[in-house]
Structure 1
């Protein structure tokens, strides 16, 4: 196929000519990128020889980055719930609590004549979350850490049709229903009455709470509405750890997750009644972060010292930390030049690839609109293999391709805006990562600095 271009001398024709060349290059670059061919030769045979000056590459474009507090994230009615506390040497103290309703398994329940309480036990089925490669993750942190888990009765109703966020608060009664020192064991089966069952966390609640339910008026047992007005739910809260720590995963929708009341009556036999935690129960997670216990440079950056982004920048899920990115001089750098971007690749290197706190599998990248909301960028629509964002464990790095977006900025078709980067699935997994910044003090780390790698073609006409 041959392309012919009008060589008219008017400014309008020259601009149209340039835009057409850019369009051709943009299409070619995307196709060849997905095929993983050599960028230096992309499209050469399709552009007249007189149009091409040279092929260039650069990684010295100014990139400004700094980390900021992230917005809260929606945490209600998730398939998997998290619980625990861990003290991160960089990110400080992080704690996750759970609030949930419970329901009757049968209405008009009858405990018989003269019921007597044996015990009441909260059961939570351990679970995991799956990485995109289907590898299960059972915990985050150090399971050797002993944690104190406390349980309280809610003093405020939850509503299934309401939205709850990671910073949502709910009132609880002052009396502790339980305080138990545990080591999370998400992969260890346990024995219940000589029967081996899947791994689960079992917390015995105090007898007074059990007797209140056992001896509640008959009207309380007539419907779930009445019962949930009488007992609004439970709040499961870890005490902050002094060191190390771990977050465990639970499936509150599993049939084994429930509130079991053990009793006997005049019939003499031991009995059990299960209150359900199921999909009809409102539930959410609360995330708290005490960054004052983190690395001083990390804290200073969050508090406004953006210059520290030259050394390191940070990301944390759980409504924690995100990173702002801009290319303030990208248009000036190519001023009075006609260039086509073959590839623009933004690269980040993990500071500590051996940390017990594993980095996120995937990051997200958006542009920030004037009203503060987020928008997609053009390159995202080419798919993950092109756009990037996934962790390369061997290289210890992430990248994003921004070729189309930056080309539009240079053409004046799009404002040179601020971008933001965060963690995918921020309400579902407790991951975090620190990156080497744009200009580390240690010269040996300059090859791991954040950089925008641009491959581009200069056009003569």
Structure 2
């Protein structure tokens, strides 16, 4: 299909593109102005049917401390991808070596604190003006701010609000070092005894308690999820070991109390993220205080933290049930000739491979050689498949894209790093007919104009990570895929038209995977 572009104007050494196309949306962005080298030209747009097929990672991904910007917890089941369930395993360390809990220390309570991501703009505040603070029976005011956690999945299952029973168990295996690589399917032996649990309704809160007499703060907790733990277990496991060898050093402690697993009982609901660096167990206890005259009294309530952050080994366990799903059928039927539906899923699920057919490459090279064309913009367009993926689940807004077996980013991402270039441009994500454009202008120019060997493009759900200090991307293998729970089904290969140009009268409604190219055609005077 050929559309006439109204003007391509050269100003000095920079090419400025002014576009007027028949459709309301221009297929040209501003990438080509960085790459095109030529004089007066006639602009042309066209599209080609290309190949897409699924690739699988076997539902396994690295989820160790080196890969987890966020931990994940929960479970989510739907009919296309099946069930995905995430548990969290971590070592536990003393906040100080050789801790001393004092004489006759007795645990009052123990709490596991998790800090999930939450919807900060959706707060519900409840105030109790006649609250009695239990420590000292103090007249006080209690203010609780409640927020929903940021979820991927179902807020409701039928008429009921989706929720989980979260369980905490002791790990019986030594978990190794922080730097050890661990996969999401790693099994560990855990105790059958639950040492903490909570019926979680999907909300987190902060609590502020102030003394009525002088308005001083008696308690101020950060927004988080607090899971009550078995105080008898921690009395025996930690407090009663005061000054004994198990508590004298980190090396001893992580071999004595090897860690905990946090999991949910249910198989459906949602998956939420939390900051692994902030997870902690808080121990509240009292001990004997001896005055100078020998009088013995009990202390005020004291706190000691056990850390699950820092240099602790940690990882997510992720399990699946794909039985009878379209996803399972697609993965079983992978063929490089192309597949009609493409399945992308984070946290170890599949991705898609994109191939520009030899026929299309030959056509574009012929245009370059014989008609002196220059590629101005090139993009892969992917549409969501409404026939199978029509729901209210949040659609992903980004993907990672690299050439197969590449150890570096696409040449577009390097050559255009200081421009307005964007790798992924999503459209209509709040609608059924969403689609994505992947910018590959420099990549395609190198194939067509520099005779570079075409390579398959590997497209996975997730985004590239950047340095918090420099803002620069950390590398092609540094992504957030390990903790991105989203999924999407996209339209794949049109088997009857692979490699062919898409006719103009069909392009408006053509939704299969396609290559869209805008190129300049030099005017011979």
TM bucket (normalised to shorter chain) is 0.7 to 0.9
Relative distance call for 1:415 and 1:151 in structure 2 (3 A) is same
Pick from 263, 271, 290 the counterpart of residue 321 of structure 2.
290
Alignment partner, residue 5 of structure 2: none
Pick from 375, 381, 384 the counterpart of residue 350 of structure 1.
384
Pick from 348, 368, 371 the counterpart of residue 319 of structure 1.
348
Deviation of 1:113 after TM superposition, in Å, equals 3.4
Runs of 5+ consecutive residues of structure 1 not aligned to the other structure:
1-23, 131-135
Alignment partner, residue 300 of structure 1: 329
More displaced, 265-274 or 196-205?
A: 265-274
Alignment partner, residue 101 of structure 1: 91
Relative distance call for 1:342 and 1:145 in structure 2 (3 A) is same
The alignment yields a C-alpha RMSD, in angstroms, of: 3.9
Q: State the aligned residue count.
A: 413
Alignment partner, residue 413 of structure 2: 380
Deviation of 1:324 after TM superposition, in Å, equals 0.4
* 1:373-452 matches, cutoff 5 A: 373-381=406-414, 382-383=416-417, 385-393=420-428, 396-411=434-449, 413-422=451-460, 423-424=462-463, 425-439=480-494, 446-452=509-515
Relative distance call for 1:345 and 1:30 in structure 2 (3 A) is farther
More displaced, 446-455 or 29-38?
A: 29-38
Contact 2:365/2:449 (CA < 8 Å) preserved in 1? no
Relative distance call for 1:37 and 1:259 in structure 2 (3 A) is closer
Alignment partner, residue 76 of structure 2: 86
Alignment partner, residue 330 of structure 1: 360
Alignment partner, residue 193 of structure 2: 175
Cα displacement string for residues 12-41 of structure 1 (whole angstroms, at most 9, x for unaligned residues): xxxxxxxxxxxx9xx97798899957989x
Pick from 228, 231, 244 the counterpart of residue 257 of structure 2.
231
Cα displacement string for residues 42-96 of structure 1 (whole angstroms, at most 9, x for unaligned residues): 979815xxxx7x654322x231111222362444153432211111332211112
Contact 1:85/1:246 (CA < 8 Å) preserved in 2? yes
Contact 1:148/1:181 (CA < 8 Å) preserved in 2? yes
Cα displacement string for residues 89-110 of structure 1 (whole angstroms, at most 9, x for unaligned residues): 3221111211112222233323
- Whether 1:148 aligns to 2:165 is yes
CA distance in 2, matches of 1:275, 1:67: 44
Deviation of 1:322 after TM superposition, in Å, equals 0.9
- Larger helix proportion of the pair: 1
Alignment partner, residue 214 of structure 1: 239
* 1:30-179 matches, cutoff 5 A: 36=29, 46-47=39-40, 55-59=43-47, 61-70=48-57, 72-77=61-66, 78-127=68-117, 138-143=150-155, 144-154=161-171, 155-179=173-197
Alignment partner, residue 229 of structure 2: 205
- Whether 1:360 aligns to 2:396 is yes
CA distance in 1, matches of 2:515, 2:92: 52
Deviation of 1:252 after TM superposition, in Å, equals 3.5
Deviation of 1:368 after TM superposition, in Å, equals 0.6
CA distance in 1, matches of 2:517, 2:95: 62
Relative distance call for 1:334 and 1:223 in structure 2 (3 A) is closer
1:346 is paired with a residue whose SS is strand
CA distance in 2, matches of 1:303, 1:386: 37
TM-score (norm 2): 0.68
Pick from 300, 308, 315 the counterpart of residue 277 of structure 1.
308
Relative distance call for 1:222 and 1:45 in structure 2 (3 A) is closer
CA distance in 2, matches of 1:444, 1:452: 12
Deviation of 1:426 after TM superposition, in Å, equals 1.0
Deviation of 1:163 after TM superposition, in Å, equals 2.7
Contact 1:102/1:275 (CA < 8 Å) preserved in 2? yes
Cα displacement string for residues 265-294 of structure 1 (whole angstroms, at most 9, x for unaligned residues): 44434443322233232322222232226x
2:102 is paired with a residue whose SS is coil
2:421 is paired with a residue whose SS is helix
CA distance in 2, matches of 1:343, 1:333: 16
Relative distance call for 1:310 and 1:283 in structure 2 (3 A) is closer
Deviation of 1:340 after TM superposition, in Å, equals 2.7
CA distance in 2, matches of 1:115, 1:147: 34
Relative distance call for 1:180 and 1:367 in structure 2 (3 A) is same
CA distance in 2, matches of 1:326, 1:433: 19
Contact 1:102/1:233 (CA < 8 Å) preserved in 2? yes
CA distance in 2, matches of 1:271, 1:43: 69
CA distance in 1, matches of 2:37, 2:249: 74
Relative distance call for 1:262 and 1:451 in structure 2 (3 A) is same
2:361 is paired with a residue whose SS is helix
